[in-house]
Structure 1
Amino acid sequence: MRRLVIPCLIATLLTGCATDQASDPLQVTDTLVAATPAASPPAATAPAGTVHPAPPVQHTVYDPTTHTLVLASGPTLTLTDTTTGAQRTATLPSAPAGLHHDPGTLLAALPDSDQIARVDLATAEVRTTPVPGGPLHAVDLDAERTAVALRTPATVTVLRDGTRTATADGFQDPAQLLPTPHDVYVLDRLTTSVTPVDPANGSKGAGLRAGSGATNAVTDRYGRILAIDTRGQELLAFSTDPLVMKQRYPVPGSPYGLAYDPTRDIAWVTLTATNEVVGYDVAGGEPRERHRLPTISQPNSIAVDPQTGTLYIASANGSGYQVVTP
């Protein structure tokens, strides 16, 4: 049986809306299914820039401090110095579900081994910390605290020097954490929502629907959350003080990968149904398309160098990775 939800306000604020399951106001159907990228057709147009060989890549990160491109293929991280081309590898205990980087450091969540791993991008040294519950994503809030999204149970917990100090529960699939100065926001892919959590005590604020199938999100220099609604084929923008949906912009082509260039205020979105990447200027009141480039097949992940504007687009089916400066 499908549950009915009456929209509250134009921003689809979910707290205060009525469903027949009052304990979980974000759940609108009995069977929750996360959105996934569309299967790409064979590339019909030569990709822009240069294509390098690589195995299937699940995650792509760029660290401008060390000029390191990180490609995650299962438990193997390939670290490429983009100034010299030198490559190293780091092996994690298991495949990461999510990656997050701070200057010079990569934080990997490893659900299948109940650990989080810190990778020194200058040396490729890996240090692990046990975190029971199947970590899905982890971010450092400061020098002492780390927020971790867990698979079982579906919660977000805050660790201080390895000790749990706060926990927020009631999620379905807390896939990605987005830290802001006061809160950490949780992108839940199953309920396709964004919810703030106070890391001091684990209290949850009012959540917002994020389209009909949110998959990836980033924060921008204005303090907003930019999110991809893959199923609804939109780029969404939320303010965070308070949490309000500010923009919904159509992005046909099954958008999935997302990277933000804070120097140029460009949100880069990969389209897996058409093998393209589109760059939107998000500095104004409405996104404006500035670039559209052909990509390799199955461009599921993307990263950008904010210093040069260079894009790194990786294929999830083994078509390699693409380097292009628009």
Structure 2
Amino acid sequence: LDADTAAVVGRAPLPGVLRHLQLAGPGGPVLVPSESANGLLRVSLPGGQVSSEVMTGPMAHDATGTAAGTVFVANEAGGSVSVVRGDRVVRQLTDVTQPAGLAPVGDRVGLIDVRENTLTVYDAATGDGIRELPAGDGPTHLVADRHGRMIATDTRGGHLIVFDPAGTPAEVGRVDLPGEPYGIAYDPVRDRVWVTATGANLLVGYDMTDPTPREVARIPTVRQPNTVAVDPDTGRLFVTGTADGVVQVVDGPA
């Protein structure tokens, strides 16, 4: 989509059932886990060509890249996380039950386990587990902010939970967010996290100056807003209305 007009400027056919996207770095490639193909696709920008495909494990659900180029892939139905360097799996982590959302912070990577309701922090270089923390009653997704914190949506519990993964990882902030918080995106320029409440058709914005998020905006959305993305250059927001197959474009508050 054109970020200014929302016009479709290209389509890239990809194999398998796909749900999540993350950028490996500025300008790409896009990390695309393929749940039915059980692997990781790297998709180049702006052309949309698949530059590599790596088999990782059953139902590859989410993937995130570290500063060193290592990619962690959550294999949701396989009870494992694949550590990928280049086009090769160098380690399989099996200390998880149903891995889901992933996010990197410096030399650490966070992983949400939606069955165990936990956040596990790993060493990004070795894949060794550092600490497992409770993460509410039903966490799903995770992002990192510019302060080196990790922010999780507790979908069943109705919370937004903030963790500091440095040193001995710990929870450092939490706010109530009824309405099944699910999709999440972070704007590093404005230091703002945006969360969709899928049960309430709302997009809620929080200032992240402090560890406890401070609500700054509530915006009605299209139905079933499963995902949100933000353009940090403009602050513009993109919300997927899954129920109706639409994308809502919102100029974010200043």
- Are 1:299 and 2:225 an aligned pair? yes
- Contact 1:115-1:128 within 8 A present in 2 as well: no
CA distances 1:189-236 after superposition (whole Å, capped 9, x unpaired): 111111012243332122001000101110000010011111111111
Runs of 4 or more above 4 Å deviation: none
- For the pair shown, the structure with the greater C-alpha radius of gyration is 1
- Matching residue of 1:186: 111
* Among 211, 214, 219, the residue aligned to 2:139: 214
- Contact 1:310-1:323 within 8 A present in 2 as well: yes
- Matching residue of 2:2: 81
Higher strand share goes to which structure? 2
The structure, 1 or 2, with the larger RCO (C-alpha pairs under 8 Å, 6+ apart) is 1
Offset at residue 260 of structure 1 (A): 1.1
> Number of paired residues?
247
- Matching residue of 2:27: 104
Aligned partner letter, 1:116 = L
- Are 1:318 and 2:244 an aligned pair? yes
- Contact 1:140-1:146 within 8 A present in 2 as well: yes
Offset at residue 131 of structure 1 (A): 0.9
Whole-angstrom distance in 1 between the partners of 2:221 and 2:158: 18
Secondary structure at the aligned position of 1:267 is classed as: strand
Structure 1-normalised TM-score? Answer: 0.71
Structure 2-normalised TM-score? Answer: 0.90
Whole-angstrom distance in 2 between the partners of 1:125 and 1:149: 23
* Among 232, 248, 257, the residue aligned to 2:183: 257
CA distances 1:56-111 after superposition (whole Å, capped 9, x unpaired): xxxxxxxxxxxxxxxxxxxxxxxx12246352101111122432112222110112
Offset at residue 319 of structure 1 (A): 5.0
Secondary structure at the aligned position of 2:11 is classed as: strand
Inter-CA distance 114–254: structure 2 relative to 1 (3 Å threshold): closer
Whole-angstrom distance in 1 between the partners of 2:37 and 2:139: 26
Whole-angstrom distance in 2 between the partners of 1:114 and 1:312: 28
Aligned-residue Cα RMSD (Å) equals 1.8
Aligned partner letter, 2:199 = A
Q: Flag structure 2 segments of 5+ consecutive residues without an equivalent.
A: none
Inter-CA distance 144–245: structure 2 relative to 1 (3 Å threshold): closer
- Matching residue of 1:32: none
Inter-CA distance 142–235: structure 2 relative to 1 (3 Å threshold): closer
Q: Flag structure 1 segments of 5+ consecutive residues without an equivalent.
A: 1-79
Identity of aligned residues (%): 36
- Are 1:94 and 2:16 an aligned pair? yes
